A = this chain, B = another copy of it.
Amino acid sequence: METDRPLDTLNQARGKRVIVELKNQKQFIGVLKSFDIHINIVLDDAEEHEAGELKRKVGTCFIRGDTIILLTPTK
């Protein structure tokens, strides 16, 4: 059995709704379309949330990996 790696978890989240938290305290929720080894990611159908409130709908968005703290699938 191969050892599991963190990018495997991102791979399984493709096409699913995820929450992405950024270093600037903002949160983006959208469908994970793609990612790369720098953890640059693209979300489809994304929304920006701040302090738990929807701030705006941003559609497709590219987020630079070095601004990301964490990513979690939504339930």
Contact = CB atoms under 8 A, between A and B. Distances in A.
A25 to B, nearest CB: 8
A7 interface: yes
How many copies the complex holds: the figure is: 7
27 contacts: A4-B33, A4-B34, A5-B34, A5-B36, A6-B36, A6-B40, A7-B36, A7-B40, A9-B33, A9-B42, A10-B62, A22-B69, A23-B24, A24-B69, A28-B70, A39-B40, A46-B72, A58-B72, A60-B72, A61-B70, A61-B72, A62-B72, A63-B69, A63-B70, A64-B65, A64-B68, A64-B70
Given A4-B42, A6-B41, 20 more contacts: A3-B34, A6-B35, A6-B40, A6-B62, A7-B40, A8-B34, A9-B33, A10-B62, A22-B69, A23-B24, A23-B67, A28-B70, A39-B64, A60-B72, A61-B71, A62-B71, A62-B72, A63-B70, A67-B69, A67-B70
